[in-house]
Amino acid sequence: MSKVMTVSPEDIIDHVKLSFQIPSILEAIASRKIVEDEAKQAGIEVGLEELQKAADQLRLANQLLKAEDTWSWLEKNYISLDDFEKIVETTLLSAKLANHLFANKVEAFFYAHQLDYVGAVTYEVILDDEDLALELFYALQEGEISFQEIARQYIENIEIRRAGGYQGIRLRKDFRPEIAAAVFAANPPQILKPITTPKGVHIIAVEEIIKPQLDEQRRLQIIGELFANWLKSQITAMEIAVNFSKALNSQIPKEILIEQSEFRSYNSELKQPLA
């Protein structure tokens, strides 16, 4: 028979303190409260149909395909049905508030920061020897060797070697400044003269420069970035007072006993069971 260890709320708080998690938790709490307050002031509400759809998406994201899966997940995470609804509602409020605050600012921000969204398709090999890098660069210029051959010989990572040193589509911020300057000044397809950084000597092939477009994915990304920066500024300007002197009267039960028949999805009547 396995031993039973009882963990109290005080034990949990002590662990949070000793593992230096208090600042991040306080920031998360402040973020949630700011979102709730701002959404209320803006008159933003979450409808039952929206709640149902978001709840289904959250279940799918956590691979909770059946009612019993959802039940086990709630129990494992010590989350009640009301907690689950609160999580979904807060997520929706954040998204709706972000859209309310910044949807009409996306286009102006995008064009003001257009260079930050230019992408580059590159291949890269990093060497330790500058003389060797120059030798290989000139051999590439003369057509005596291909970039793929260099990648096969000098890249240790198997997957990157198999891909010929392919780095994917990367934005300016993804490169070191000295590399970004050369990459985005290139006239593709072009092999750049070796660039030395603390990581080594880079031989880079620029295959394509991709001009940015303000599609839906980019629009959502910009709204998310603007909202995150706004939220951070709100927290920075706020003084968070913590009171640990309050007695912790509630206790976390060892088992959460909720009949599965009580677990319901969030439709307009809140009566239909989860599939």
From first to last of the 275 residues of the chain, give the pLDDT tens digit: 678 999 998 899 999 999 999 999 999 999 999 999 999 999 999 999 999 999 999 999 999 999 999 999 999 999 999 999 999 999 999 999 999 999 999 999 999 999 999 999 999 999 999 999 999 999 999 999 999 999 999 999 999 999 999 999 999 999 999 999 999 999 999 999 999 999 999 999 999 999 999 999 999 999 999 999 999 999 999 998 887 765 444 444 444 333 333 444 443 333 344 44
Q: In this structure, which long-range contacts are made by residues 171-176, counting pairs with CB atoms below 8 Å and at least 24 apart in sequence?
A: 171/116, 171/117, 171/118, 171/119, 171/120, 172/115, 172/116, 172/118, 173/116, 175/120
- Phi, psi angles (nearest 5°) of residue 122: -130, 160
Question: What does the DSSP assignment read for 153-198?
Answer: HH--SHHHHHTTTEEEEEEGGGS-HHHHHHHTT--SSEEPPPEEET
Q: At what angle do helices 81-102 and 48-61 cross, to 10 degrees?
A: 110
Q: How far apart are CA 13 and CA 23, in angstroms?
A: 13
**pTM for the full model?**
0.75
- Whether the CB-CB separation of 219 and 106 falls below 8 Å is answered with yes
Q: How far apart are CA 229 and CA 19, in angstroms?
A: 26
pLDDT of res. 1 = 64
Query: Across the strands, what pairs with 195?
Result: 202
The conformational region for residue 159 under phi > 0 = left, psi -120 to 50 = alpha, else beta, is: alpha
pLDDT of res. 263 = 40
What does DSSP say about strands 200-210 and 195-197: parallel, antiparallel, or unpaired? Answer: antiparallel
pLDDT of res. 243 = 79
pLDDT of res. 245 = 66
List the structure tokens of 156: 């240790």
Q: How far apart are CA 185 and CA 227, in angstroms?
A: 32
- Whether the CB-CB separation of 88 and 54 falls below 8 Å is answered with yes
Q: How far apart are CA 151 and CA 89, in angstroms?
A: 50
Closest listed residue to residue 100, CA positions, set 29, 28, 41, 33: 41
pLDDT of res. 251 = 43
Query: In the 8-state DSSP scheme, what is residue 118?
Result: -
